[in-house]
Amino acid sequence: DWPAFLTGRSMIIAGGLNAKAVIYPIAPGSSPASRLTNWAVLVRIGDGSSPPPRREGWSNLGRREEMMPYVASFTIPQVDFTGLINATPEFWEYPCCDRDPLPYWSSGRVTLLGDAAHPMYPVGSNGASQAILDARCLADMLARSEHPRQALAAYERQRLPMTADIVASNRRGGPEGVIDAVEQLAPQGFTDVDTILNYEAREAIVRGYAAKAGFAARVVARQ
């Protein structure tokens, strides 16, 4: 339960590919001036050449002494980020790992879908979203094809290269790569982002990712 910030419905993504803070409200708080607020700190601690530091899991309690040095690197005027984290009694650690794209998904009458087919970094809301798009494509192919194996082959031809492209894009930051683009151009900061990278250029990065991920309005309309 934390004081509302900005509009009370705003989301903050601060930082870039190597260290990022994400803060957003998820429900009303105990008073009109507060919100139940979720936060995450994502830090790159390896280059993918070595295994995660601890076994991956969904119930590993986070260790405050490990995280706070990263938190100290953020200055977020709209939120007392250190205070927010110190007020959180417990939090969890989720090592984020992806996998290189597979050469194929289907064998006989069996195929893969969702995270089993293309685990990717949690960027751009693509974990569940790509599974839904997989399922829609697979259902369409099954309805149109004379034989299930024919449907699985068509499904794989369409979805495997598309999701492989998203896996690669998420490694570079996905739509949030716009933050890294600005940081590269102005590593010492700025007072007016439009003088560094104008709105049209920033929008092109985000919209380009939306089209790649199948979220663009024209792509959704075709579905």
Beta strands at 34-43 and 2-3: parallel, antiparallel or unpaired:
antiparallel
22 three-class SS: strand
40 DSSP β-pair partners: 22
**CA–CA dist 37, 2 (Å, integer):** 6
β-pair type (12-15, 2-3): unpaired
Catalytic residues: 24
| CA–CA separation, 8 and 32 (whole Å) | 10
Angstrom distances, CA of residue 71 to CA of 22, 85, 147, 177, 181: 11, 9, 54, 20, 22
